[in-house]
Amino acid sequence: MAYPMKIRASMMGDKVVVKALITHDMETGLAKDSSGKTIPAWFIQQLIGSHNGKTIFNAQFGPSVSKNPSLEFRFSGGKVGEKVKLTWIDNKGETRSDEKEIA
Amino acid sequence: MNKTRRAVLQSSSGFSVMALAAANGLFTSNAFAQAAAAAGKPVAEWNKAAFDTKSLQATATALGGGTAVESRDIIISAPDIAEDGRVVPLNVTSKLAKTEAIAILVEKNPNALAANFAIPEGTEPFVKTAVKMGQSSNIHALVKADGKYYFATREVKVTLGGCGG
């Protein structure tokens, strides 16, 4: 199940600061459950940020990224009221997109 | 609280969620590819080879670079002592001109590479996230700038490991 991301995009001077909280278990494939069985790996592999149809951020994640990953990055060229879109895909092919207006 | 009603609600919402998930499963990858294409960029393959590497130099090679050189222009900001290895917040800033990518590595994790961030033009060479650490280890930031690879290292001590221990 893919839950919505919490995204914040705000102007800081002439730059846009994008903060995101993603809800994802990010299982490493090394942890065991209470019955001793290995929990299969399940983690976000890629995340793309776009603004006005332009890629502003492109991340590849391994299982070492924390559970419920947090992320912050900054880009220039954004204006108040425009939208920032984040999309991720995990190793099971699940994906989720969320948009946020720049405040 | 009306238990029957709750049970019915839960089971019905559970069913619709399952149905949705099944429906989604058919085109999820496509949706991502479309989002990527809409952003003007074809979706890149997840770099499995790089994420399988065990050391800094091996990662640099897998990412397509040669030997990485240590640089003082990369700043890793992380706690000296992390109480909880499951969530170690850190950020990396690169002052190198033409920074194209920033990768974060945890040396003693089962696989060294944690994340690799491409920094397109117009995006600041800065990234903040959180990683898991199995034990006290060096953290490396591997930066690609103007086609070359540079790195910086910082040691983080972990009180409680975070890799399934």
Residue-wise pLDDT tens for chain B (165 aa)? 555 555 555 555 444 444 444 444 444 556 666 666 655 555 667 888 888 888 888 888 888 777 889 999 999 999 999 988 889 999 999 999 999 999 999 998 888 899 999 999 999 999 999 999 988 999 999 999 998 999 999 999 998 766 554
Could B28 and A54 be called an inter-chain contact, meaning their C-beta atoms sit closer than 8 Å? no
CA R_g for chain A: 15
Helical H segments across chain B, by residue range: 3-38, 48-51, 56-62
Task: Give contacts of A 14-73 with B, CB under 8 A.
Answer: 15, 26, 28, 30-32, 45-46, 48, 50, 53-67, 69-73
Size of interface A-B (CB pairs under 8 A): 154
Could B116 and A59 be called an inter-chain contact, meaning their C-beta atoms sit closer than 8 Å? yes
How open is the CA angle A92-A28-B15, to the nearest 5 degrees? 40
The answer to whether A95 faces chain B, any CB pair under 8 Å, is yes
Task: Report ipTM for this prediction.
Answer: 0.89
Could B41 and A76 be called an inter-chain contact, meaning their C-beta atoms sit closer than 8 Å? no
3-state SS assignment for residue A70: strand
Could B131 and A64 be called an inter-chain contact, meaning their C-beta atoms sit closer than 8 Å? yes
3-state SS assignment for residue B126: strand
